[in-house]
Amino acid sequence: MPVEVRMPNILRPLAGGEPAVTAEGATLREVFEDLVRRYPALGPSLLTTDGDMHRHLNVFLNDDDVRYLGRLDAKVGDTDTVTLMPAVAGG
Amino acid sequence: MARYDNVLDTIGNTPLVDISELSPNPRARLLIKLEGLNPAGSVKDRAAKAMIEEAEKNGSLQPGQRILESSSGNTAAGLAMIARVKGYPFTAVVPENVSMERTKLLRAFGAEMISSPAAEGSNGAMRRAQDLAEQHPEWWFSFQYGNPANPKAHYEGTGPEIWRDCPEITHFVAGLGTTGTIIGVGTFLKERNPSVSIWGVQPPAGEAVEGLKNLDAGFIPPVFTDNDGYSLLDRSRVVGPRDSIEWVRRLAEVGIFAGISSGAALAGAARCASEIDEGTVVTLSPDGGWKYLSTDVWEGDLDDVAERARHELYF
């Protein structure tokens, strides 16, 4: 079953221009791999050459930062929403 | 004691207030530390004082030297107030979309202001300040995002105050900006009781995020990475403007007049309370509501207010 992936403005041009796209996978890694299959240009924004998450990309699974849910191994269900957000400073 | 030699001595020792009536879980107590009661109006007075006094001590800040910082408002207000008291000139780089109260407050303390583009948010203000620091080596750049005195102020002040006032704490929930608060308080609390959970709340950055040219222009504060923030935190969540404003209004219901980032922190704390079996959740209100009066946070349709909040930098 597909999950919804919400795109920030800066990544939309790399993924068909829509604010949200769908992708399939039971873990975040599988969702990212499916996204890169569908939108190859997104690849470097999601994953480093070592296959880890991009340092400046915050990924939220239903508002929860996946860095504290097992990172790329975080389990994703078909009612979940993945939100991608660039890391920016406050203060 | 309520008599002080100097306004700077009134920084810290803020009240911790039980607001369990707002807790969604009857077995989870909810308390909030009111940092808006600091003299320049926010939690940032602590970091501002610590950064200046540390630099005075180590000699990097000399009498009469100009202080430089980038800030969405609160750190600048704290620095401006302290700089005024101690006789330093102060220049703040401030994104042009902060509320008018912030710029007026800075003017009240005699700060010089340089605007940075709204679309670039706090990141853009920081880059502009870094450029200025290079052009003016004679100035002292406090660099709140990387200055160890920032988390140290919370390790030595805010954290011990929370532990003193609420040793039964099970969860600490705070917003992530420079991350100085959560790093300092979180480190202190985990040293005292490793089972205390530390939850971060990321306020959405609205247009600041949309203004980024690419992902590599993103930024994670060195205060966070230098202190192994990813290991310290147990969880981190994003809270949207609508939730933030809804919870800032709920705070007003219990008589607490707080800023929008307090609503975000409390929304995160309430979610924490609803997900745990039982416990004592402590959160922190970074500032009072005064600087947001012009944004009409407390009146009108929630969705309209949330949409307006997207265009304004509030954390």
**Is the domain of B269 the same as that of B157?**
yes
Contact B7, B84 (CB under 8 A): no
Give catalytic residue positions of B: 44, 261
Alpha-carbon distance B106 to nearest alpha carbon in chain A (angstroms): 15
Q: What is the pLDDT of residue B204?
A: 67
**Is the domain of B63 the same as that of B211?**
no
Q: Which residue of A has its CA nearest to B71?
A: A91
Q: What is the pLDDT of residue B113?
A: 96
Tell me whether residue B2 is in a domain: no
**Is the domain of B206 the same as that of B76?**
no
Can you give the pLDDT of all 315 residues of chain B as single tens digits? 789 999 999 999 999 999 999 999 999 999 999 999 999 999 999 999 999 999 999 999 999 999 999 998 899 999 999 999 999 999 999 998 888 899 999 999 999 999 999 888 888 899 999 999 999 999 999 999 999 999 999 999 999 999 999 999 999 999 999 999 999 999 999 999 999 999 999 876 665 555 566 777 788 999 999 999 999 999 999 998 899 999 999 999 999 999 999 999 999 999 999 999 999 999 999 999 999 888 888 988 888 888 877 666 555
Q: Which residue of A has its CA nearest to B76?
A: A91
By Cβ distance, the residue of B216, B221, B238 closest to A63 is B238
**Is the domain of B171 the same as that of B292?**
yes
CB contact under 8 A, A60 and B221: no
CB contact under 8 A, A65 and B205: no
> What residues of chain B lie within 8 A of the CB of A71, using their CB?
none
CB contact under 8 A, A56 and B220: yes
Enclosing H/E stretch for A46? helix A43-46
Question: What is the CATH number for B234?
Answer: 3.40.50.1100
By Cβ distance, the residue of B145, B212, B234 closest to A91 is B145
Query: What domain range includes position A47?
Result: 2-86
Determine contact: A86 vs chain B, CB below 8 A.
yes
Number of domains in chain A: 1
Q: What is the pLDDT of residue B212?
A: 65
Q: Which residue has the higher pLDDT, A89 or B178?
A: B178
Of B141, B165, B181, the position where a domain reaches its end is B141
Of B97, B115, B141, the position where a domain reaches its end is B141
Give the separation between CA B295 and CA B196, rounded to whole angstroms: 36
**Is the domain of B123 the same as that of B173?**
no
**Is the domain of B133 the same as that of B262?**
no
Q: What is the pLDDT of residue B219?
A: 87
Question: What is the CATH number for A34?
Answer: 3.10.20.30
Q: What is the pLDDT of residue A84?
A: 93
Tell me whether residue B253 is in a domain: yes
**Is the domain of B188 the same as that of B284?**
yes
Of B119, B141, B163, the position where a domain reaches its end is B141
Residues of B numbered 9-68 whose beta carbons fall under 8 angstroms of chain A's beta carbons: which are they?
A: 44
Number of domains in chain B: 2
Q: What is the pLDDT of residue B311?
A: 67
Alpha-carbon distance B55 to nearest alpha carbon in chain A (angstroms): 20
Determine contact: A52 vs chain B, CB below 8 A.
no
**Is the domain of B24 the same as that of B49?**
no
Tell me whether residue A91 is in a domain: no
> What residues of chain B lie within 8 A of the CB of A54, using their CB?
215
Alpha-carbon distance A44 to nearest alpha carbon in chain B (angstroms): 10
Per-residue pLDDT tens digits for A11-20? 999 999 999 9
Determine contact: A54 vs chain B, CB below 8 A.
yes
> What residues of chain A lie within 8 A of the CB of B315, using their CB?
90-91
Determine contact: B73 vs chain A, CB below 8 A.
no
Tell me whether residue A60 is in a domain: yes
> What residues of chain B lie within 8 A of the CB of A85, using their CB?
202, 204-205, 209, 238
CB contact under 8 A, A57 and B215: yes
What ipTM is given for this predicted complex?
0.90
Query: What domain range includes position B240?
Result: 7-37+153-310
Tell me whether residue A48 is in a domain: yes
CB contact under 8 A, A89 and B219: yes
**Is the domain of B129 the same as that of B181?**
no
